[in-house]
Amino acid sequence: MKIQANSRRIADAGRKVSAAANRPAMPDGSANAAIPAYMREVYDWAYLNETNARLLDHDLIVSAILLGNNARLRRALVAEVANGQRVLQVAHVYGKLIPEIARRVGPDGFLDVIDLVPLQAALCRRKLRGFPQARVRIASATCPGDEMYDVISCFFLLHEIPDEWKRAVVDALLLQVNRGGKVVFVDYHRPARWHPLRGMMRQLFNRLEPFAESLWHHQVADFATAAENYHWQKQTFFGGLYQKTIACRR
Ligand SMILES: C[S@@+](CC[C@H](N)C(=O)[O-])C[C@H]1O[C@@H](n2cnc3c(N)ncnc32)[C@H](O)[C@@H]1O
């Protein structure tokens, strides 16, 4: 109950701060004005606390969080990227996914990574040393800038943000993809009724991830204002608990 009230309050706060947080602090979009309420109130321990962030930034931890599905989901995402492409990675991801994408685009491609939090951008920059084809910027996924990309990757971000933010992020990303290009969302999904972990996941969401269960009740396309301009494809994993949804621009 308390967490639901909290989520509602944060969603409201999100609506208010989004206008400010979405506005880049710098005209070139390289910095961002504010850390949103959901980050400070729900995910502070995971992304704003430096000691914890350094401890969490390992594949073993991500594998534990994703119940052993990390490598498989990472492969599913990386398979959507090809050599020489321009790729936007929306938000830092703990572990080695981001260097894998940089390797995949290769020296003829370009990987642009954005994150709201300077600490997360710094962690990401460190793991991209040695990849001159990669750049890390501080920006919100709701305001990724004016550049266009062949592929945009959104890996486990949607479940961590209130629905108002999901809508703003999905719309913003869909706009920045080239015709024929795609936005790839890898995230939670409604598990099958028989799934033995369904109850446990619901409890976990109630306690720790108040914005995640919404992905059990909505398709990613439901958050898009102009969904009809894209071709949507969905693949699910691990009894439906995870999804890869691709929006291909017509
Ligand atoms: C991609 S998500 C979750 C990824 C996954 N839990 C992992 O293994 O790291 C975590 C990142 O999203 C960033 N983030 C949250 N809201 C954001 C937003 N609106 N725009 C850009 N980055 C955001 C956080 O700062 C954090 O670095």
| Domain limits, the chain | 2-249
Task: Confirm or reject: Cβ of 115 under 6 Å from ligand 1.
Answer: yes
Q: Is the pLDDT of residue 26 over 60?
A: no
Q: Is the pLDDT of residue 29 over 70?
A: no
Tokens of 115: 């994150």
pLDDT at 34: 82
Residue 125 to residue 122: CA distance in whole angstroms: 5
pLDDT at 14: 41
| pLDDT, tens digit, 9 for 90 and up, residues 72-122 | 999 999 999 999 999 999 999 999 999 999 999 999 999 999 999 999 999
Angstrom CA distances, 221 to 62, 136, 224, stand at 26, 27, 5
DSSP 110-127: EEEEEES-HHHHHHHHHH
Task: Confirm or reject: Cβ of 22 under 6 Å from ligand 1.
Answer: no
Spacing of C-alpha 47 from chain mean position: 13
Q: Is the pLDDT of residue 146 over 80?
A: yes
Task: Confirm or reject: Cβ of 245 under 6 Å from ligand 1.
Answer: no
- Average model confidence (pLDDT) across the chain: 90
Residue 202 to residue 200: CA distance in whole angstroms: 5
Q: What percent of the chain has pLDDT over 70?
A: 87
pLDDT at 93: 98
Spacing of C-alpha 5 from chain mean position: 24
pLDDT tier, 160 (very low <50, low <70, confident <90, very high otherwise): very high
Closest residue by Cα to atom 12, ligand 1, is 91
In ligand 1, which atom is closest to the CA atom of 97?
8
**Greater confidence, 8 or 36?**
36
Q: Is the pLDDT of residue 158 over 60?
A: yes
**Greater confidence, 29 or 215?**
215
pLDDT at 157: 98
pLDDT tier, 32 (very low <50, low <70, confident <90, very high otherwise): very low
End-to-end Cα, the chain, rounded Å: 42
* Lowest mean per-residue pLDDT among 1-15, 124-138, 175-189: 1-15
3-state secondary structure (DSSP) of residue 107: coil
Could you give the count of Cα atoms lying within 13 Å of 90 in the half-sphere of its Cβ? 30
Which amino acid is present at 161? Answer: I
Q: What percent of the chain has pLDDT over 90?
A: 86
Q: Count other Cβ atoms within 10 Å, centred on residue 226.
A: 9
Closest residue by Cα to atom 27, ligand 1, is 92
Beta strands in the chain (DSSP E): 86-90, 110-115, 134-138, 149-155, 177-188, 230-237, 242-249
**Greater confidence, 160 or 3?**
160
Please identify, in words, the CATH class of the domain defined by 2-249. alpha beta
pLDDT tier, 220 (very low <50, low <70, confident <90, very high otherwise): very high
| pLDDT, tens digit, 9 for 90 and up, residues 164-206 | 999 999 999 999 999 999 999 999 999 999 999 999 999 999 9
Closest residue by Cα to atom 6, ligand 1, is 156
Q: Tell me the mean pLDDT in the region 149-153.
A: 98
Task: Confirm or reject: Cβ of 160 under 6 Å from ligand 1.
Answer: yes
Q: Is the pLDDT of residue 215 over 80?
A: yes
CA of 120 to the centre of ligand 1 (A): 8
